[in-house]
Structure 1
């Protein structure tokens, strides 16, 4: 069997088939690029939406309400007054003959402070004594006459009517003597007021007269004050307490007192009385305190600052004033719930300390309060918590 060589024949594809294949490959590449761009855009859009949603949730600062370590301090202006203060006026007219004490002098009760020369009163006293002597002479004559007529009454020598008249005249004369004696005693008592004496132990805080000055009797009108004596061993302190604090200050409450002339030094004052009524004009009640001044460092009439340590509220908590929200619903505080969503609580303020407030009701120490809530924060909004800050209470 003869073997013949195998011949290989190559069939040349037409040019149209190669063009179609190239087109298919090109379309597939374009599709892959388009799909890749679409997927990238979808991923970026999803990330953008997630970022936008995340940024839409506000970030807030959480604070923890806390009780104050002590009660608040109530500072009030006040005035110091002498425990006893007596302006000395003249009871008799005349001229000042002499004065024995000047301002700042310490005096004892009954000590002579000055003398008034009373020429008119002296003349009136002389006349009254003369009238008394005349009345006594008339009374003695009436007594002798009445006794004689009474002795003759049993002899039928005189009428009983005449006896009665003489007896009545004697009685009248005795009344005239009594009146004249009383007038003398009155003028003698007035003469005693020519001696100006201290009414109690104290200090002369004013002298408003001098030798030869015309003295008019009385404490008003033409009368003028001669001296002023003050008892400064103990001073009265008067302060006006706002109505909302009045019930927290009672008799026996102590306060710290400071005065400008003793920087850094404090004095103790004690409440002894309250007015028991609120002044409608100022909304305050008047409180009186005593402060010991045996060393006479404090001066009556001076300004003083009082600090009352008020009791701490049993239910109140303190938060920064920036945590308060006031709108048409009233005074509220934004609180974070367990799911980090916001809800609002209505609160009432017990005391305002400026940068912080004491909440009387509506809030507990366990609540998570938002400090400086952003505008537009609504009930049920979710929030991110930036940082938790526990603020200690302060009694300042």
Structure 2
């Protein structure tokens, strides 16, 4: 009896242990499932939050600032002699000789060449003979008029006869003066057979030679010589209309020419045309540059650099902030609520790393530097810095 009771009691204990173990296992399984579900829900929520955060682009912003120095205006210019005189023939003939060639320095009145004028010489001889004839006739008429005037007192001649002799003398005297004027004219023309320099300078052209037929051109024929004063040079530059008011007489400029790389010549604005060319939209500016050593040559091309005054209304931003698409030239700014706001701008000057904006921006705007691709107006963005206002950008 005792062994059967013991066996029965052991069977009861085994069933109770199994039931307890089953309960424990079930609780553990339920706990594992609950923990797994909670972990997955937490991860999904974190992933959603991370995805939403990644969907908002992070941008860096800069604040546009006025430039500390004015822009530099580099324009092409043309050098010209301070004074240039093309010399034409005023009498016809043949070139007898020339005394100076190109590049020769000359003084005012120095002989450049001489024209042989046989036809003019004959005309002058005839004019002098005519003068001698009219002078003799005038002298005779004068003596006759005096005699008749003396006889009028003795009542031996009529007053009308005396008046006729006096009038004849006046006419002959006028003829003599006309003949004298003709001689003077031809002598003045003969003086132009000597071609002389009008001022101190350099012979920059000689377009004739010994024996060449010379026709009095009056400015329409070919130039015989060109004399230029190059101790100073004039520089002519076409300045865009916008910069015209900034370049006034007395302003300084730097001149550079290809034949002297790296060397600068200092010029000064002498005058402006005070008018805008309707074709090119530019204003003609004249500068002067000293050329005492004759290193610069008239007719040469030059680069002229103007240092313009600071434009306080213009703002500078990095060139990387510009967006150029089918909507035109724009910049992206961060507006209220950290939303993107595009603004159209125009460039005044390009400095390479930075650009000068003429209109479209305000000093307090927050400009996005290197805006992400695909950014649109009204998109939300996150500023990369903790400070809502970025530091001013570095100047170029």
Sort the TM-score into its range (normalised by shorter chain): 0.7 to 0.9
SS at match of 1:247: helix
Which of 305, 311, 329 is 1:313 aligned to? 311
Which of 385, 391, 394 is 1:392 aligned to? 394
SS at match of 1:71: coil
Which of 261, 277, 280 is 1:279 aligned to? 277
Following TM superposition, by how much is the alpha carbon of 1:26 offset from its aligned partner in structure 2, in angstroms?
A: 8.1
Following TM superposition, by how much is the alpha carbon of 1:390 offset from its aligned partner in structure 2, in angstroms?
A: 4.7
Following TM superposition, by how much is the alpha carbon of 1:46 offset from its aligned partner in structure 2, in angstroms?
A: 1.0
Which of 349, 355, 358 is 1:351 aligned to? 349
> RMSD over aligned Cα, in angstroms?
3.2
Whole-Å separation in 2 of the counterparts to 1:215 and 1:391: 71
Partner of 2:37: 38
Residues 392 and 23 of structure 1, relative CA distance in 2, 3 Å threshold = closer
CA contact (8 A) 1:59 1:386 kept: no
Whole-Å separation in 2 of the counterparts to 1:328 and 1:303: 39
Deviation larger for 382-391 or 299-308 = 382-391
Following TM superposition, by how much is the alpha carbon of 1:143 offset from its aligned partner in structure 2, in angstroms?
A: 1.7
Q: Which has the higher helix share?
A: 2
Whole-Å separation in 1 of the counterparts to 2:326 and 2:111: 73
Which of 239, 251, 254 is 2:252 aligned to? 254
Alignment of 1:203-222 (within 5 A): 203-221=202-220
CA contact (8 A) 2:106 2:201 kept: yes
Whole-Å separation in 2 of the counterparts to 1:244 and 1:172: 70
Alignment of 1:187-336 (within 5 A): 187-221=186-220, 223-325=221-323, 332-336=330-334
Residues 393 and 18 of structure 1, relative CA distance in 2, 3 Å threshold = closer
CA contact (8 A) 1:132 1:181 kept: yes
Following TM superposition, by how much is the alpha carbon of 1:359 offset from its aligned partner in structure 2, in angstroms?
A: 2.6
CA contact (8 A) 2:345 2:359 kept: yes
Whole-Å separation in 2 of the counterparts to 1:337 and 1:281: 42
Following TM superposition, by how much is the alpha carbon of 1:127 offset from its aligned partner in structure 2, in angstroms?
A: 0.1
CA contact (8 A) 1:321 1:356 kept: yes
CA contact (8 A) 2:80 2:233 kept: yes
Whole-Å separation in 2 of the counterparts to 1:263 and 1:66: 35
Partner of 1:160: 159
Partner of 1:373: 371
Whole-Å separation in 1 of the counterparts to 2:176 and 2:296: 56
CA contact (8 A) 2:82 2:232 kept: yes
SS at match of 1:313: coil
Following TM superposition, by how much is the alpha carbon of 1:69 offset from its aligned partner in structure 2, in angstroms?
A: 3.6
Following TM superposition, by how much is the alpha carbon of 1:164 offset from its aligned partner in structure 2, in angstroms?
A: 2.1
Whole-Å separation in 2 of the counterparts to 1:357 and 1:183: 73
Following TM superposition, by how much is the alpha carbon of 1:116 offset from its aligned partner in structure 2, in angstroms?
A: 1.0
User: Which sections of structure 2, spanning at least 5 residues, go unmatched?
Assistant: none
Deviation larger for 236-245 or 141-150 = 141-150
Residues 329 and 77 of structure 1, relative CA distance in 2, 3 Å threshold = closer
CA contact (8 A) 2:237 2:286 kept: yes
- TM score, norm. by length of structure 1: 0.86
How many pairs does the alignment contain? 387
Residues 99 and 69 of structure 1, relative CA distance in 2, 3 Å threshold = same
Whole-Å separation in 2 of the counterparts to 1:346 and 1:259: 39
Whole-Å separation in 2 of the counterparts to 1:123 and 1:162: 40
Per-residue CA distance 1:353-380 (angstroms, 9 max, x = gap): 4553213455455643211223333336
Partner of 2:55: 56
